[in-house]
Amino acid sequence: MSAELIKDLLFNTALLLSISIVYNLFFIHFDERRKKWLEVALGVFLGGVGILLMMNTVSFSNGIIFDTRSILISVTGLFLGYLPTIMATLMISLYRIYLGGGGALTGVLVTVTSALIGLCWYRYRLKKIRQKPKKVWPELYLFGVIVHLAMLACMLTLPNQQGFDVLQVITLPVLIIYPLGTLLLCLVMLQALKNREAEKNLRESRESYKHLYYEYQKKESLLRSLLDSLPDLVFYKDNAGVYLGCNKAFEGFAGKTKDELVGLTDFDLFDEKMATLFRDMDQLMMKEKKSRRNEEFVTYPDGQEVILETLKTPYYDHNAQILGLIGVSRDITERKKTEAEMLFLSQHDALTGLHNRGYYEKERQRLDHHDYLPLSLIIGDINGLKLINDAFGHGAGDKLLISIARILASCAREKDVLVRTGGDEFVMLLPQTSYRETGALVEKIKKACKAGYELDNERIITSISLGFATKTREQEPFEKVFRLAEESMYRKKLLDYKSFHSTVLNSIKTTLFEKSNETEEHAERMASMAKQLGQVLGLDQEELVALELATTLHDIGKISIDSKLLQKNGQLTDDEWLEVRKHPEVGYRIAQTVPELRKISEYILCHHERWDGTGYPQGLKTDEIPLLARILAIVDAYDAMTRDRPYRKAMTKKDAIDELKRNAGTQFDPVLVGVFIKDVIEENMIE
C-alpha cells in the first residue's frame, strides 16, 4: 500500500466531507417539507457531488478508479431516503458508464449496493438511531464497514485476475479509511438532522407559545369582559390584603378604577369601621384556609346603603401556600326585603297587620311556662261582622276588622301577644298579668270600642264581645284556661248581640234614607196603606206587624248600591239596571243575619216579583208570590207614582189608579188591586 494511494483516499474523503458541510449549510433546511421537486433537486445535487468525486479519483490501470462515492451514496440512502438516493445513484452510474474502462460494471455495482445498504438502514434503523441520546457511533461505524465490505466484494467482478490484484492493494486502506469517513459523514448528517429537529422543535415551541400567548390574551380578554359584565362585585387580593384587581362593578363600589385600586388596601378605600370588618373577615378566612360566606351592611360612594353577601375563597401556589383571596360580593338588599316580607306574611295577618294563628301557636308554647305566670288570655269576637258585610259590603267589613285590630293594638302592652286567629276572632296573650289586671284591660278595650274608631275620615261603629281567664298554676292545662275564656266571651256575646244589632239596624236605615229616594215619610205612608189593606183582607195582628216592618225595610238592600246610581235623573243603562235589581237579594241576606228580621226576609226578597212571572229575582207568579209581598208591591208602586222623583213629576191619584188597573193581572194581583183601590185609596179620597 503506497503512501500516494493513502494520500489520494484521504483527499477524496476530505473532499466528500467538505461537500457534506456545504450540503448541511444550504440544503438540509429544504428536507423538512419533503416536497417532490426538492427531493429531485437534492438527488441531482448529490449526483453532481458524486460526479465531482469521480473527477478526483485514485486510478489504477485498465480504467479502474476509486473514490468515496460509496460513502456518499450509502449515507444518502441512510439519511435522505428513496428519491434523492435513486436520482444520485442513477446520475453517478450513468457517468461511470460514460467514463468506460474495465471497471465500469464494478463501479456501477459498488454504487448500487451502497445505495441499497443505505436504504435498508433508512427503512429499518434510522428512526431508532435518531432516537438514541448517545453512543450511536458503533452502529454507524459498523454500517460503514458493511458498506465497504460489499464494495470490496464487488471487486471480484473485475475481468481476468484484476479483482484479486486490486483487493491486495486497497483492502486495508479501504477498511481503515472508508468506514471512518462514513462514520464522520454520518455523524455530520446526524448532527445536522438533530439540529434541524431541535430548530424545528424550537420553532414549533415558539409557534405554540405564540399561539398559547394569543389564546391566553384572548381568554383573558374574554374573562375580563365576562367579569365586567357581571353585576356582582369581583375582586382579588394578596395575602397581605393588598388589592391586585377587580371588575367594573367593584370599581363603582370602591369609587376608583382598577389601575387606581391596585396596590391599595381596604383602609385606603373605606372608613375604619368597614375596613376593619373586611380585614377581620379576610384574616379569619386565611386562618381557616377555606371559603367563607359573610353578609355585611355597606355604603356606596353615592350614599346608597345595601346588604352584600360576600364569598371569599383562598387561592394557592404550586406548594399549596396561600397567595391571596378571590372575593365575589352580591347585592342581596332586595332579596333580604323579600325574605323579610315573606317572614312577615308568614307570621302576620295581611288585612290587620296583627300576628296570625301560626305565630300564636308558637308564642302559646313559649309563654306556657312558669316564668310567665300568671298568664292571662283574652278572647274577642266581633259583633255583627256578617251583617256589616251583607249590608255595606266586604269593604265595610274590612274597615270594621281594621278598626277593631287598631283599638286592640292601642290597648295592648309591649310584652302582650295580639293575634287575629280567624275571620272575626282575636286572641291576646298577657304574660305576667293577673286576673284583675286583665279585667281592667278588657274594660279599657270596651270603652274604646264604644267610642268607635275614625278610619279614612269615617266613624266606624265597633263592637266586640270579650271573655278572659287566667292561668295561675304551672300544672293547670292551658286548654282549660282557653275554654274558660271562650265560654266567658260567648256569654258576653249573648248580652251584646241585641243592642249592637239594634244600633246597626238604625245605622242601616239612616244610610238607606240618605242614599236613596226612599224617605222615612215614604216608609210611614207605605206602612199605613199596607196596614189598611191588611186589615181589609183580615190579616191577624202578627201578620200586620210583619207587613208594617216589611214595608219599612223592603228596600234595605239598596244600601249596597252607589248613591249616584240611586239618584240618577236619566234612564238607567242595562248594566245599571242589573246592579239595581240585586237589591232584593242583598236585603234578604241582611234580614237573614238579624233574628228579628228573618220572618220578613222572604217578603223583602219577593217584593219585585210579578203576577205574570216576569219579575225578579226568582220569576215567581200568581200565588207562588207570598201574600205580604204582593201587598207590598202594590203599595210601593202607588206611593212611588204619586210622589215627585228626580226623573219625573208625580201622577195624580186618578192617573195612578188607572196605571194600577192597566197592570192588574200582569204586574199585580188583580184581586188585591181592586180591594186596594176601592177600600184604601177611594176610601181615603172620600174622607
pLDDT at 413: 92
CA proximity to 183, closest of 26, 58, 78: 78
Map residue 65 onto helix, strand or coil.
Answer: strand
Dist. CA 126–CA 213, nearest whole Å: 36
pLDDT at 375 over 90: yes
Say what the pTM is.
0.51
- Residue scoring higher pLDDT (535 or 18): 535
How many Cα neighbours within 13 Å face the side chain of 205?
6
Q: For the residues 559-577, what does the mean pLDDT come to?
A: 76
Q: Can you identify the CATH homologous superfamily of domain 230-336?
A: PAS domain (3.30.450.20)
Quote the CATH superfamily of domain 516-686. Answer: Hypothetical protein af1432 (1.10.3210.10)
CATH architecture of the region 3-201: Orthogonal Bundle (1.10)
Q: Which three cell numbers stand for residue 62?
A: 485498465
Mean pLDDT confidence for 322-326: 89
CATH 3.30.70.270 fits 348-497, yes or no: yes
> For position 685, what pLDDT does the model report?
61
CA–CA dist 223, 455 (Å, integer):
59
Give 482's pLDDT tier (boundaries 50, 70, 90).
very high
Q: Helix 394-411 vs helix 385-392: angle between axes, to the nearest 10 degrees?
A: 140
The yes-or-no answer to whether 3-201 and 516-686 have a common fold is no
For the chain, give the percent of residues with pLDDT over 70: 87
Q: Which amino acid type is present at position 33?
A: R
Average pLDDT over residues 613-632: 92
Domain assignments of the chain as residue spans, ordered by start: 3-201, 230-336, 348-497, 516-686
Confidence at 287, pLDDT banded by 50, 70, 90:
confident
Mean pLDDT value of segment 562-584: 79
Is residue 687 over pLDDT 70? no
Give residue-wise pLDDT tens across range 115-139. 999 999 999 988 888 777 678 888 8
Look at residue 14 and tell me whether its pLDDT is greater than 70.
Answer: no
pLDDT score, position 622:
92
Sequence-distant contacts of 299-307: CB under 8 A, at least 24 apart? 299/274, 300/252, 300/253, 301/253, 301/254, 301/255, 306/331, 306/333, 307/331, 307/332, 307/333, 307/336
Tell me: the pLDDT tens digits for 304-321? 788 888 889 998 888 888
